[in-house]
C-alpha cells in the first residue's frame, strides 16, 4: 500500500512578512519617507496656484516637478546600486528637503516670478530619493522564500496605495488652519525623517561587501547594453500607467456628460483604489502555480478588457462597480511587474530595475492624460474608454510574444540569472535569521541577509519570477 502524499505546507501569511527580522521597522521607516509622495504633489499644486493665481502656471510647475523626477529616477537609482543605500540616500533626501523648503518659501506669499518657482520645483524633482525601488530591493534581500516575497511586494503595493489616498486628505486638513506651503514643509520633514530611520535600520547594517558587478552580471550587461530582461515589465508598467491616468479623466468626463454631481467623482475613483487594494491583498495571498510571465499577461489582459467594457456602463453606479473590478487588476499587474523586474535584473542593478518600471508607469500616466484629454470631446466616451483598454491589451500581447520568443532570464552561461535568488558564484542564496543586510548590498549584491530561516531558494526561481496606482505627479512608487 503506497504511502499518502505529504501534506502541502501552509502558505505564509502577511503577518509572516512582518515577522521577518527587522522588517517592521524598515518597512515603517520607508513608508514614512514615501508618505511625502502622497503629500507634496497636492501641496505644491495648491501653493503655486495660491501664489500665482494661475492654474496654467500651477500645471506647468507640476509638469516640471513630475517630469524631472520621472526622467532622472533611473539615474538616482543607479547611484544607490553603485554606492549603496546608506551612502546615496541621505544626501539625496537632505538636498531634496532643502529644495522643498526653498520652494515653500517662494510660494508662501504671492509676488515671486513664475520662472523662479518652476526652477525650484524642477531642481527639487531631480533629487527625489527612490525609496520605493530601494524598499523593494530590500524585500528581495530580507525574504528568501518566493511565496513570502510575493506577499511582501503585495503588502508594499497596498500600503503605498493607502499613502496616496490619505496624503491629500492630510493636506486638506492642514490647509484649514495653515497656508498650503506648510504641506510642502511637512513633506520635507517626512522624507528626511523616514530616510534617516530607513538607512539606520538594522536591516541595512553590516559591512560593505562590494558593489562591483560579478562576472555573470558583467557578461550580461555587455551583451544587452543596459539592465537586461526589462522589456516585459516596463511595457506592462507603461500600459498600466496609461490606462490608469486615462480612466481617471474618463470618469470625470462621464460624470459631467451624465449631469452627475461632481462631488461623486472622488467616490468613484475611491472605488478604483479600494479595488486595487483588495486585488493586491488577494494576489499576494494566493499560492500561484502559473509563472510570473503568464500571470502578468493574464492580469494585463483582464485590466484592458474591464476598462473597455466600463465604457458601456449605463449609469454612474454601474461605472463605480466597473471601477472596483478595474482596480482589482491594477495592484496585481504592477506588483508582478516589479517582481519580474527584480528577478530578471543583474544583482548589481535591482534598484535601477525597479526604477525603470517606476519611470514607465509614470511616463505612461503622463501620456495617458495627454492622449485621453485630446480624445474626450472628439469621440464617443465608449471609444475613449477603449483607448486605455487597448494599451493594456497591447502590453499583454508583448508579454505573450516575449514568452513565445524564448525570452529568458538565464545568465550568460545559461545558469540562473544573476540577481534571481543566486549569489555571485551562482550558488543558491540562503536566508540567515537575525543577520542584517548590508546597506551597500541592497541593489548591489542582492544577497538576502535576513529571512524566515535558512531554507534554500527554490531552484526554479530564476525562471519563474513572481511587485498601486501611481499619481500623475510622477514621484510615486
Q: What is the model's pTM? A: 0.67
What is the length of the chain? 477
Mean pLDDT of 32-44: 90
Give percent of the chain with pLDDT exceeding 70: 75
459 CB burial (10 A radius; 0-12, 13-18, 19+) = exposed
Beta-bridge partner residues of 428: 422
104 CB burial (10 A radius; 0-12, 13-18, 19+) = buried
How confident is the model at residue 229, as a pLDDT?
65
pLDDT over threshold 80, residue 189: yes
Q: What is the pLDDT of residues 63-117, one digit of tens each?
A: 788 888 888 888 898 898 888 899 999 999 999 999 999 999 999 999 899 999 9
- Listing DSSP states for 343-390 in one string gives HHS-TT-HHHHHHHHHHHHHHHHHHHHHHHHHHBTTB-HHHHHHHHHH
Q: What is the pLDDT of residues 363-420, one digit of tens each?
A: 887 777 778 878 887 888 899 898 888 888 988 888 888 755 444 333 333 333 333 3
Q: What is the pLDDT of residues 275-334, one digit of tens each?
A: 888 888 888 878 788 888 888 889 999 999 999 999 999 999 999 999 999 989 988 898
Q: What is the overall mean pLDDT for the chain?
A: 76
Amino acid at each position: 500500500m503506497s504511502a499518502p502524499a505529504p501534506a502541502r505546507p501552509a502558505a505564509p501569511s502577511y503577518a509572516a512578512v512582518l515577522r521577518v527580522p527587522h522588517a517592521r521597522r524598515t518597512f515603517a521607516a520607508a513608508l514614512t519617507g514615501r508618505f511625502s509622495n502622497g503629500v507634496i504633489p497636492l501641496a505644491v499644486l495648491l501653493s503655486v496656484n495660491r501664489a500665482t493665481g494661475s492654474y496654467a502656471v500651477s500645471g506647468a510647475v507640476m509638469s516640471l516637478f513630475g517630469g524631472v523626477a520621472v526622467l532622472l529616477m533611473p539615474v538616482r537609482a543607479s547611484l544607490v546600486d553603485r554606492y549603496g543605500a546608506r551612502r546615496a540616500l541621505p544626501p539625496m533626501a537632505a538636498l531634496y528637503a532643502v529644495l522643498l523648503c526653498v520652494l515653500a518659501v517662494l510660494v508662501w506669499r504671492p509676488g515671486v516670478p513664475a520662472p523662479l518657482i518652476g526652477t525650484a520645483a524642477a531642481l527639487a524633482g531631480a533629487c527625489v530619493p527612490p525609496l520605493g525601488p530601494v524598499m523593494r530591493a530590500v524585500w528581495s534581500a530580507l525574504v528568501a522564500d518566493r511565496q513570502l516575497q510575493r506577499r511582501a511586494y503585495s503588502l508594499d503595493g497596498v500600503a503605498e496605495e493607502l499613502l496616496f489616498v490619505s496624503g491629500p486628505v492630510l493636506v486638506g486638513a492642514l490647509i484649514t488652519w495653515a497656508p498650503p506651503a506648510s504641506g510642502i514643509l511637512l513633506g520635507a520633514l517626512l522624507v528626511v525623517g523616514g530616510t534617516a530611520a530607513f538607512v539606520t535600520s538594522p536591516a541595512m547594517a553590516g559591512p560593505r561587501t562590494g558593489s562591483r558587478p560579478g562576472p555573470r552580471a558583467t557578461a550580461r550587461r555587455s551583451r544587452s547594453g543596459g539592465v537586461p530582461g526589462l522589456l516585459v515589465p516596463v511595457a506592462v508598467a507603461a500600459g498600466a500607467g496609461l490606462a490608469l491616468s486615462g480612466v481617471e479623466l474618463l470618469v470625470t468626463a462621464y460624470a459631467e456628460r451624465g449631469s452627475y454631481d461632481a462631488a461623486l467623482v472622488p467616490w468613484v475613483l475611491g472605488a478604483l483604489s479600494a479595488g486595487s487594494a483588495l486585488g493586491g491583498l488577494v494576489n499576494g495571498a494566493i499560492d500561484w502555480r502559473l509563472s510570473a510571465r503568464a500571470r502578468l499577461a493574464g492580469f494585463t489582459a483582464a485590466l484592458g478588457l474591464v476598462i473597455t467594457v466600463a465604457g458601456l456602463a449605463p449609469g454612474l453606479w454601474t461605472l463605480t462597480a466597473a471601477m472596483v473590478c478595474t482596480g482589482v487588476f491594477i495592484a496585481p499587474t504592477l506588483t508582478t511587474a516589479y517582481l519580474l523586474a527584480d528577478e530578471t535584473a543583474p544583482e548589481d542593478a535591482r534598484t535601477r530595475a525597479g526604477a525603470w518600471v517606476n519611470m514607465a508607469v509614470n511616463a505612461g500616466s503622463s501620456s495617458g492624460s495627454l492622449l485621453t484629454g485630446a480624445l474626450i470631446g472628439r469621440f464617443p466616451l465608449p471609444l475613449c474608454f477603449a483607448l486605455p483598454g487597448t494599451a493594456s491589451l497591447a502590453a499583454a500581447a508583448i508579454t505573450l510574444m516575449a514568452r513565445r520568443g524564448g525570452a529568458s532570464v538565464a545568465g550568460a552561461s545559461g545558469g540562473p540569472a544573476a540577481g534571481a535568488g543566486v549569489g555571485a558564484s551562482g550558488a543558491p542564496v540562503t536566508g540567515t535569521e537575525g543577520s542584517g543586510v548590508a546597506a551597500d548590498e541592497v541593489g548591489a549584491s542582492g544577497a538576502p541577509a535576513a529571512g524566515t530561516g535558512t531554507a534554500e531558494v527554490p531552484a526554479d526561481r530564476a525562471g519563474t519570477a513572481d511587485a498601486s496606482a501611481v499619481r500623475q505627479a510622477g514621484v510615486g512608487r
